[in-house]
């Protein structure tokens, strides 16, 4: 009798030890999700991932279509650098001169502020051996009398380098005689470039090329 009791006790103890790690057997209230529930959840997650993948593919395609492989120019007026880019590639980095950020006043009250315009501009034209038509401020700056509008004295050759890219409103990307000033703010608003870089720009840039100035 004593042996029987002992055997039963051993069996009970053994069963408890085996059952303890398995809450289903142990009747645990916080039972984990059933296999089927897990499978359902995974199926739902797979569907969600598929939808997200599809949406992302669509958006990437749309963004890709917005991209183009055109050359464009970027002018940083703070550091006086011009970069020519195509897609993610930098084709050229040039040290340039930009607007002096200075005022010139005329006795009559007229005044000018020499700043390179910022924003998104377009190359409107290309010139070889550009001619500079001296504007009024150029005379005022040098305390010279301002000649009439079409005075031939206003036509100056050889000061803008061999090429110019026209940006509109009188602004251009052109060469300069003052190459030692490149990298500083010294122009009247145009973007001055060294001879070699100017030639590269002239050959690479088309009419319609975008120019981003900031």
Partner 1 sequence: MKSKAACLLLLLSLLFMGMDGNGQEQDERNELLEQQNVLKEKIETLRREQDFLLFERALYATDSKYLIINLGAKRGQLKYKNRVLKDFRFTGSANLAKDALKPGTVTLTKKREYPGQRHVLFFGRSLVIQWKPPASSPYAENISRISLSKRDFQSIFYAIEKGAKAYIMR
Backbone φ and ψ for 172, nearest 5 degrees, come out as -145, 160
CB 75 within 8 A of CB 197: no
Q: With respect to partner 1, which residue has the nearer C-beta, 29 or 35?
A: 35
Q: Is 52 in the site for partner 1 (CB under 8 A)?
A: yes
Q: Is 169 in the site for partner 1 (CB under 8 A)?
A: no
Q: Is 18 in the site for partner 1 (CB under 8 A)?
A: yes
CB 185 within 8 A of CB 97: yes
The single residue among 2, 63, 103, 180 that binds partner 1, judged by CB under 8 A, is 63
User: How far apart (Å, rounded) are the C-alpha atoms in residues 1 and 185?
Assistant: 109
User: How far apart (Å, rounded) are the C-alpha atoms in residues 143 and 35?
Assistant: 92
The single residue among 26, 28, 46, 113 that binds partner 1, judged by CB under 8 A, is 46
Q: With respect to partner 1, which residue has the nearer C-beta, 31 or 133?
A: 31
Q: Is 28 in the site for partner 1 (CB under 8 A)?
A: no
Q: Is 32 in the site for partner 1 (CB under 8 A)?
A: yes
Distances (CA, A) of 203 to 100, 115, 164, 197: 28, 27, 11, 10
- Residue 59: alpha-carbon gap to chain centroid: 19
Distances (CA, A) of 91 to 70, 165, 173, 208: 12, 17, 17, 18
User: How far apart (Å, rounded) are the C-alpha atoms in residues 102 and 111?
Assistant: 10
CB 102 within 8 A of CB 188: no
Distance in Å, CB of 56 to partner 1, minimum: 5
Number of residues forming the site for partner 1 (CB under 8 A): 42
Q: Is 38 in the site for partner 1 (CB under 8 A)?
A: yes
Q: With respect to partner 1, which residue has the nearer C-beta, 47 or 111?
A: 47
Which chain residues interact with partner 1 by CB under 8 A?
A: 4, 7, 11, 14-15, 18, 22, 24-25, 32, 35, 38-39, 41-42, 45-46, 48-49, 52-53, 55-56, 59-60, 62-63, 66-67, 72, 74, 76-79, 83, 85, 88, 120, 210, 212, 214
């Amino acid at each position: 009798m004593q042996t029987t009791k002992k055997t039963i006790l051993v069996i009970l103890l053994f069963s408890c030890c085996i059952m303890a790690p398995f809450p289903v057997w142990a009747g645990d209230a916080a039972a984990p999700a059933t296999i089927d529930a897990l499978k359902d959840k995974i199926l739902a997650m797979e569907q969600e991932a598929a939808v997200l993948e599809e949406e992302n593919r669509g958006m990437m395609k749309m963004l890709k279509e917005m991209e183009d492989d055109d050359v464009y120019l970027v002018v940083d007026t703070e550091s006086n650098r011009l970069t020519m880019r195509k897609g993610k590639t930098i084709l050229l980095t040039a040290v340039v001169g930009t607007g002096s950020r200075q005022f010139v006043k005329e006795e009559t009250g007229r005044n000018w502020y020499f700043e390179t315009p910022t924003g998104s501009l377009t190359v409107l034209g290309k010139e070889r051996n550009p001619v500079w038509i001296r504007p009024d401020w150029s005379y005022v700056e040098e305390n010279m009398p301002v000649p009439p509008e079409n005075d031939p004295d206003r036509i100056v050759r050889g000061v803008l380098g061999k090429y110019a890219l026209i940006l509109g409103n009188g602004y251009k990307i052109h060469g300069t005689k003052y190459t030692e000033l490149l990298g500083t703010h010294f122009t009247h608003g145009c973007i001055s470039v060294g001879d070699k870089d100017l030639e590269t720009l002239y050959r690479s840039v088309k009419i319609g090329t975008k120019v981003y100035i900031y």
